[in-house]
Structure 1
Amino acid sequence: MISLNKYDQKRNFNVTTEPEGAIKKSTTELVFVMQKHAASHLHYDFRLEMDGVLKSWVIPKGPSMNPEDKRMAIMVEDHPYDYKDFEGIIPEGNYGAGTVMIWDNGTYTLADKEDTDNVEKKLKSDLKDGHLSFILNGKKLKGEFALVELKTKEENTWLLIKKNDQYASGEDVLEQDKSVISNMTLESLEN
């Protein structure tokens, strides 16, 4: 069973509006969210629904649609499913204090179309093996991507890589800087 204890222990729900840890699942397709987070350092949080929670990676430089770019991704604690809808301000003095914006969201599927009988089982196996291949159907992020775990001294270090497909581009996707929910920039959410 997946535990959200680490997530809950880091937060004071009397102060923050972040959702409390609860295991839930989508009724149809699996969801993903990419949140832009102005905490102590600006970064992006990439979350994939899996087994009733959101598996989460911090992407310091943000995603890229260019297959030449390999973005570092640090795996962090699981987040509750409802975090996919969180946009707002985490108050000072709290873990992750700063502004969170839903930069992109949508659904995702396995890249391996032949292994669709038990998608969740395959995802968990691929995660354990340190190599996930998936297709994002977001508003900004589209097409095939891979998360590949690096075998280094630094634990939980992965790479997020865009695969070369019809959505691959040299254009900077990060220039699309508005929330897909509120249509606001990070700066306007802060005010």
Structure 2
Amino acid sequence: MGQDRLEEYRDRRSSTSPEPAGSSGPAGSGRPPVFVVQRHDASSLHFDLRLEIEGVLVSWAVPKGPSVDPSDKRLARRTEDHPLDYTDFEGRIDEGYGAGTVVVWDTGTYENLTEEDGRPRAAKDALDAGHLKVRLHGDKLSGAFALTHTRMGGDDGAWMLVKVDDEGADRRRRPTSTQNESVLSGRTNEDLEADPS
């Protein structure tokens, strides 16, 4: 199943893309699942939120980036699943789909908090049902976030990303506009533009 889920990812990329070709990982590895938020300066600047679910990174493009203010509702557009080795991908994509620069803006592990009738609901089942609640353990993002499939205007790829009002919430902090650097390398997208290598 995981291999099939990456077919669209591979079909969209050229053989010269620096992105990992990737394969799906095991569905249950015994370790906490990972998340990554990549700052992607392509045709427009956006943030890609990716959650490890059943051996792949389920992905959303968030035009304004995640907010830590619970009053902010952020559009999140579902995109193709990505391979697990995309978690630490940084680089410059010179041409084709997604051309631009990518840095790992935040990464860490997450917990699935989704429940149904008071019982835990598997992340894949929650995803299929259109509502997922997770607690992120990252450097820039922490606490619970809710993802809800909205199908706004008949758009099947439209979801909404909202910060839950908990200890990780902060109505004053604006991390997507004040903290542009990678948590892995310290580089920014602008650094990659200046240094194509």
Give the conservation status (yes or no) of the 8 Å contact 1:64–1:162.
Answer: yes
Which digits, 9 at most, give the CA deviation of each residue in 1:155-186, with x for residues without a partner? Answer: 11000100000110021011111100111121
Distance 2:148 2:80 in 1: 17
Which digits, 9 at most, give the CA deviation of each residue in 1:103-155, with x for residues without a partner? Answer: 00000001258756xxxx71011001100001000010100001000033011
Match of 2:164 in 1: 163
Distance 1:115 1:143 in 2: 20
- Pair 1:5 & 2:7 matched: yes
Match of 2:17 in 1: 16
Distance 2:30 2:122 in 1: 18
Query: Structure 1 counterpart of 2:136, which letter?
Result: L
Query: Structure 1 counterpart of 2:24, which letter?
Result: I
Give the conservation status (yes or no) of the 8 Å contact 1:7–1:21.
Answer: no
Distance 1:18 1:81 in 2: 12
Match of 1:55 in 2: 58
SS at match of 2:61: strand
Q: How does 1:1-191 map to 2 (within 5 A)?
A: 1-2=1-2, 3=4, 4-13=6-15, 15-25=16-26, 28-92=31-95, 94-112=96-114, 115=119, 122-152=122-152, 153-170=154-171, 171-174=173-176, 175-191=178-194
* TM-score normalised by L of structure 1: 0.92
Number of aligned positions between the proteins: 185
- Structure 2, unpaired ranges of 5+: none
Runs of 4+ with deviation above 6 angstroms:
none
- Structure 1, unpaired ranges of 5+: none
- Overall identity of the aligned pairs, in %: 46
* TM-score normalised by L of structure 2: 0.89
Give the conservation status (yes or no) of the 8 Å contact 1:36–1:42.
Answer: yes
SS at match of 1:182: coil
Distance 2:41 2:30 in 1: 31
CA root-mean-square deviation = 1.5
